Chains A and B, each alone.
Chain A
Amino acid sequence: MVIVGGGVHGLATAYYLARNHGITNVAVLEKSYIGSGGSGRNTAILRSNYLTPDGVRFYDRSLKLYERLAAELNYNVMFSRRGHLTLAHNDSSLRTMRWRAEVNKASGVDSEVIGPADIKKLVPFMDTSERARYPILGALYHPPGGIIRHDAVVWGYARAADAMGVHVHQDTELTGIDVEQGRVTGVRTSRGSIATRVVVNCTAGWSTLVANLAGVRLPVQTFPLQAAVTEPVRPFLDTVVVSGTLHVYVSQTDRGELVFGASVDPFASYSTRGTLEFVEGLAGHVLQLMPSLSTLRLLRQWAGLCDMTPDFAPIMGHTEVDGFLVDVGWGTYGFKAGPVAGETMAECVATGRTPELISAFGLRRFADGSLVGEKGAAAVGH
């Protein structure tokens, strides 16, 4: 079978196909180098404090797979459990934080709403005063959340899959999908053709273009998501900090750099060139949270492509074309789902049945009008 996309989703799918189902006759097609897309461009934040019980269960499974990934792959993916703070600047977001905390607790996930004094203890640099333009009223504190080395995850999966016999083809671009009488018969690539009955679309940014090759339309629009990193300074920020109102999230790497992200660009585009207004807005918002960082210098900005779905939930599983499966529409939260997406997609491919964990994420839900309920709290879903 053929997996399109050599990012964490494609490689994890290949890895779990081999490890859990003994299927190693797998080719992973990557048009550039592995991890060159969203996997290498995201800000590598892990958490499971979602709003719906389905979302919590799904991401909690992912977090648990991540926690044991280093030992399993014999590769240090540097998972760093830092704690994750989602700030509430108004009563409606505070209400949503409580809602999330209560759903999390009901699902056995550690989340709690904390007040400004506790936030200040966790992040001494934070302006928790009432003078702030958007005063901090509280936060959802999620101790299991953290950051990870994204490249290491990609490389770890690739090495392990390769060791079990999976073929990873870099610099190999998919150019066509052959469909006969409603079922997949093969793919064409920039480096030759492959006969196959199963193609799994694990791309981000190009998922609609790949699906179009099989004649499948996806309810997806592609938006750039930008990120930036500062020069390193001595460690001062342990937790991951997210503010939906200010459209910003911040963490400090082990190397001392601050890594920033925000929400997707205001209009659809395939550009990864980045914009000035992004870094301007970002800096303004970071300084609203932590005003004494003015002299810190921004070192690098970049962008990745995010495939946004109408309900901020992914599209996973079978399509109307027999043998063409999708694991797409991951918006801004694909990286944290890499392991569980790989595990469930592998099961889906190997058994032909859709695992219960992803049954809500099928493509049919849009035509059926049964959307997934993460939209309520997904303003900044990182």
Chain B
Amino acid sequence: MILIPCPWCGSRDAGEFAYGGEPTPRPDPRTATREQWRGYLYLRNNVAGWTTERWYHRMGCRRYLTVQRNTVTNEVRQP
């Protein structure tokens, strides 16, 4: 079990968290084209290496937080 550094609770087992994935900016719904909207829905960078992602401390402070994780080695660091 990898550890996720929660800025409020400290390092905790990843099992306490829900994985939120890469944050994708929400396009302005009034002007977004279908292409843009569906890019927001479906396209992710899926990087093999360092990536910035969101986790939700479901069994702890219940805050959404951002961490950097290397998707190859699973090393984790604070952004």
Contacts and interface: CB of A to CB of B under 8 A. Distances in A.
Interface of A: 206, 208-209, 217-222, 266-271, 275-277, 310, 366-369
A270 B48 contact: yes
Given A268-B71, A269-B71, A276-B1, A367 B15 contact: no
B73 interface: yes
A221 B44 contact: yes
B41 interface: yes
22 contacts: A208-B46, A218-B43, A219-B42, A221-B44, A222-B48, A266-B14, A266-B19, A267-B14, A267-B19, A268-B19, A268-B21, A268-B53, A269-B71, A270-B48, A271-B73, A271-B74, A277-B1, A366-B42, A367-B35, A367-B38, A368-B34, A369-B38
Contact of A310 (B14, B34, B35, B41): B41
A366 B38 contact: yes
A269 B50 CA distance: 11
A270 B71 contact: yes
Contacts of A220: 44, 46
Interface string B1-27: 100000000000011000101000000
A209 B71 CA distance: 13
Contacts of A270: 48, 71-72
B72 A217 contact: no
A282 to B, nearest CB: 14
Nearest to A266: B19
Contacts of B48: 206, 209, 222, 270
A275 B1 contact: yes
A221 B46 contact: yes
A269 B51 CA distance: 10
B1 A221 contact: no
A221 B38 contact: no
Interface of B: 1, 14-15, 19, 21, 34-35, 38-39, 41-44, 46, 48, 53, 71-74
3 closest A-B pairs by beta carbon, nearest first, are: A219-B42, A267-B19, A208-B46
Given A275-B1, A367-B34, A221 B15 contact: no
Contacts, number: 54
A369 B74 CA distance: 33
Given A267-B14, A267-B19, A269-B74, A310 B46 contact: no
Contacts of A217: 43
A78 B46 CA distance: 36
Nearest to B33: A367
Contacts of A310: 41-42
Contacts of A222: 46, 48, 71
Given A268-B71, A367-B35, A369-B34, A221 B41 contact: no
Contacts of B72: 269-271
Which of B41, B48, B72 has the most CB atoms of chain A within a 10 A radius of its CB?
B48
A221 B34 contact: no
A270 B73 CA distance: 8
A285 to B, nearest CB: 16
Contacts of A369: 34, 38
A369 B41 CA distance: 10
Contacts of B39: 367
Given A268-B46, A271-B72, A367-B35, 17 more contacts: A206-B48, A208-B46, A209-B48, A219-B43, A219-B44, A222-B48, A267-B19, A267-B21, A268-B53, A269-B71, A270-B48, A270-B71, A270-B72, A310-B42, A366-B38, A366-B41, A367-B34
A41 B46 CA distance: 21
Nearest to A366: B42
B51 to A, nearest CB: 8
Contacts of A218: 43, 46
Nearest to B35: A367
Contacts of B46: 208-209, 218, 220-222, 268
A275 B42 CA distance: 28
B44 A277 contact: no
Nearest to A273: B74
Contacts of B38: 366-367, 369
